Structure 1
């Protein structure tokens, strides 16, 4: 049995006339009649009662019509679904975000993707350090990572989206919050809250390099992996911190942000995927990301 047999039968059953059904199907009437007879022979069931004046469905034919319509509807739906998958409109994408991107990029990107790609299921994972994202990408538990380069993994493709300066995060009660900008050298005697050193955090290295260029080594009293916790510690008066400028989108009572006076170190934000990932739905998410954030495609 072939699908065309079902289509032919449904047309005849709906028209109750071989000539009209043949015109609808754009085939010759004798050929259509022959195909219906083949179908009945294969099923060993009479589906249509024929007379010289009319064609009627038998009880078996009525039941078969219901089933045939359901099969054709399912086949059509399967074809449409396959097309949507091939076009990248359907799928599942796991996306990781470094700490600062969790509070700025994640919300805006999620809104855009929900609006423009509703058929794609998103798994969003925030507050992930670069080494953790690199491991997850290689292990294929992440499809896309927004992280701080450098990334020294040949199986991954890195595209720089933007660069952003470091800014100061200060307790709201700190005297320096009265200024519009803060000189880094004015923080030399302050206790610092930093990202973890043991994972070789890119921001950790950038903070130390910036402080050394200002003539001092920061006194680190606490290392924190999560940006929200880091800023909360600052708000609690445990110390100051240098963070990427995008962190200022995270508003926590008791903490304030100030730009650094003069030139300062910048950190990069990159989007990273596997080199061999040709998934069309991942490509669509990347396209919308570049439209939102900018950077090379």
Structure 2
């Protein structure tokens, strides 16, 4: 089996059209069809259902697809390893984060990586909540995810990078907006804007724990995945929100951040990655993370 056969298979599998796949590979359609037939003979099975109008993967084609991708992933890892042996780090690391909650942790990491390893590309994906981030790291679609800790049992490794108490974001015209601090129990009748429970949000779980500890279950009036949008909805008077203390620095006009009185519930920020990921560039980025985002305490 030749690498170019696998490359041809992936082009057809992604385009589901021999003409477009041939154009993408800069070859004529007839040699491409011959290449696919050679691969099918090598594997002893048909990879595509062909007709005059459509091309579709067969069950065997679907089964072969992830292994074909892995061939090229391994080639890329090999290229990275040879560069790393010469002291050069290059490649791509994909990072998932939730948004506003990571503005104290994501920025130092990305700045440090770009300064130290200009050949490294960081592919950033926002609005990734904890459960989704862990699942994507497990699947390999993310290399690193910023998550809330603790997480459910998982093969991923995690490390604490920051802890901060929760406070409350109120509309600027709220009767308690001018207080130096607030007893959370005084907000039991308020409507709360939160991240979705179904998304596995660590912020939502921490907020729920704080409210239950204060003697009530919050009445949720709106769920949104974007923490910036939560702040916007609070400033619009839709409800109030429990957020990490660092949000105070970026609270928009129309809203105020007020600390909570008494024993605090903390939001624990961490990073998650697969320990058996062999990528040298991931290892380099994790080393930088250990330097610029040391575990507190």
Secondary structure at the residue paired with 1:175? Answer: coil
With normalisation by structure 2, the TM-score equals 0.68
Deviation of residue 158 (structure 1)?
1.2
Summarize deviations over 1:264-296 as a string: whole Å, max 9, x none. 211211111112113221122112112212118
Whichever of the two has the greater Rg, that structure is 1
What secondary structure is seen at the aligned counterpart in 2 of 1:177? coil
Q: Which residue in the other structure is 1:142 paired with? A: 142
How far does residue 213 in structure 1 lie from its aligned partner after superposition?
Answer: 1.5
Q: Structure 1 residues 150 and 228, CA, compared in 2 at 3 Å: closer, same or farther?
A: same
Task: Trace 1:1-297 onto structure 2 (pairs within 5 A).
Answer: 82-84=82-84, 87=87, 89-295=89-295
Alignment CA distance shift 1:212-1:114 (3 Å): same
- Looking at structure 2, the residues matched to 201 and 142 of structure 1 have their Cα atoms a distance apart, in angstroms, of 17
Q: Is the 8 A contact 2:127 2:226 kept in 1?
A: yes
Residue 122 of structure 1 deviates from its aligned partner by: 0.7
Deviations 1:117-145 (A, max 9, x none): 21101111122101111121122111011
**Alpha carbons of structure 1 residues 279 and 87: separation in structure 2 relative to 1, 3 Å:** farther
Structure 2, unmatched stretches of 5+, are 1-78
Which stretch of structure 1 is more off in the superposition, 207-216 or 103-112? Answer: 103-112
SS at match of 2:170: strand
Distance in structure 2 (CA, Å) of the matches to 1:86 and 1:165: 45
CA distance 1:85–1:273, change in 2 (3 Å):
farther
SS in 1 for 2:203: helix
Distance 1:142 1:80 in 2: 18
Per-residue CA deviation, residues 134-180 of structure 1 (Å, 9 max, x unaligned), is: 12112211101111123234321111222211111111122222112
Q: How far, CA to CA, are the matches of 2:139 and 2:245 in structure 1?
A: 31
Question: Contact 2:100 / 2:227 at 8 angstroms: preserved in 1?
Answer: yes
Superposition RMSD in Å = 2.3
Q: Deviations over 1:60-103 (max 9, x none)?
A: xxxxxxxxxxxxxxxxxxx9993346646111100111234443
Compared CA separation, residues 247 and 80, structure 1 to 2 (3 A): closer
Gaps of 5+ in 1: 1-78
For residues 177-231 of structure 1, the C-alpha deviation after alignment (integer angstroms, 9 at most, x for no partner) is 2112121122112111111112232222221221122122211111111101111
The answer as to whether partners of 1:104 and 1:247 remain within 8 angstroms in 2 is: no
Determine if contact 1:161/1:269 at 8 Å carries over to the other structure. yes
Q: Name the SS of the counterpart of 1:257 in structure 2.
A: strand
